[in-house]
Amino acid sequence: MAEQASAPTVDLTVSIISFNTKDLLVNCLESIYANTEGISFEVIVVDNASTDGSAEAVRTRFPQVRLIANDRNLYFTKAHNQAIGVSAGRYVLILNSDTILLPGTLEKMVQFMDAHPQAGAASCVFLNPDGTIWPSCWKFKTLSAVLWGLNIPLNLFPNARARTEPRMLDWDRTTLREVDVVVDAFMMVRRGAIEEVGTYDETLLLYATEDDFCLRLKSAGWKIYHVPEAKIIHINRGSVDQVRLLTIQSIYRRDTVRFLRKHHGFGIALIGNVIISLDLVIAGAYLFIKEMFQRDRGKRPERR
């Protein structure tokens, strides 16, 4: 775990991980500085050995940003823990580079956290680029929720209650609500809560990171909130799209199984591992056959 910084000197630390998303990162940073006033804040960017000039763009265009340039990809948890370890904020915002902050977002979130001392973490409304709301909160992850979210049941039974209920899809996200888990593409965390439960579990690389962290917060007595007054635009999957599909699938299986074993035991994790692996194999075979069929059709001469 990362070493905690000394007493906070600003209201908020914004921690952003960069991995080959230069244009998204620049847009994100511009939105922070253009739309934030009334609070003191610092921005820390941890670049995971990007090859697209992300680190250079931060150095030249945003000299006020504290840049940590890694020589290899440390993925999500280790990189954010680096930033948390040197942070100076009363609150720490875990933020994705594929987000655009709307005016007043950070001020509203800090004001909410100040007014709710029992809040260990909170998040805001996630808007898709088309203006629709993305369901960014969910219930604690269980084996059932994991299995119903896999490729095969998702495609065969998209509206099954066993799938929609854990994702809280019957709620429009326009009201204040205490929740189990908020997605850590935008998650503001109280420093005191971090000091109590620790930073991210670094055995998780990309997935189930917020599930694990929020579960630890709740277990320690902290509350977690969705705040509808604050809004961001989330482009979604910016950094993940830079990683090969097979690698992402492997990390998803690995992280999900580790989470299940940590919080639900070895037997549940074993079942999850078998079914997730089977689902990925079947889904991969389907995509391969579909691609080959489409390629074969493309080679056939058109009928006259």
- The residue behind tokens 């998303």 is 21
Looking at residue 3, its pLDDT comes to 45
Q: What is the mean pLDDT of residues 296-302?
A: 54
User: What pLDDT is stored for residue 156 in this prediction?
Assistant: 82
pLDDT at res. 281: 85
User: Torsion over CA of 136, 140, 142 and 148, rounded to 10 degrees?
Assistant: -20
pLDDT at residue 25, rounded to an integer: 97
Residues in the chain: 304
Radius of gyration of the chain (CA): 20
pLDDT at 297: 60
Q: Which pLDDT score, from 0 to 100, does residue 181 have? A: 98
Q: Cα separation of 293 and 64, whole Å?
A: 52
Give the list of residues 6+ apart from residue 9 with CB closer than 8 angstroms, or none. 88
pTM score: 0.88
Query: What one-character DSSP code corresponds to residue 102?
Result: P
Give whole-number Cα distances, 304 to 153, 164, 236, 296, in Å. 41, 48, 44, 19
List the beta bridge partners of residue 226: 123, 177
pLDDT of residue 280: 85
Give the residue from 8, 217, 187, 199 showing the smallest Cα distance to 118: 217
Higher pLDDT, 245 or 110: 110
pLDDT score at 304? 39
For 10-140+170-239, the fitting CATH number among 3.90.550.10, 3.40.50.970, 3.40.50.300, 3.30.420.40 is 3.90.550.10
Mean pLDDT confidence for 33-60: 97
What pLDDT is stored for residue 104 in this prediction?
A: 97
Q: Are strands 10-18 and 41-48 parallel, antiparallel or unpaired?
A: parallel
The maximal CA–CA distance of the chain, rounded, in angstroms, is: 78
Token representation of residue 190: 């109280």
Interval 240-264 mean pLDDT: 83
Mean pLDDT over 150-176 rounds to 88
pLDDT, tens digit (0-9, with 9 covering 90-100), for 29-46: 999 999 999 999 999 999
User: Is residue 165 over pLDDT 70?
Assistant: yes
User: Per-residue pLDDT averaged across 131-153, rounded?
Assistant: 91
* Mean pLDDT calculated for residue range 231-237: 88
* 64 pLDDT above the threshold of 70: yes
pLDDT band (50, 70, 90) for residue 283: confident
List, for residues 82-105, the tens digit of each pLDDT value. Answer: 999 999 999 999 999 999 999 999
3-class SS of residue 237: coil
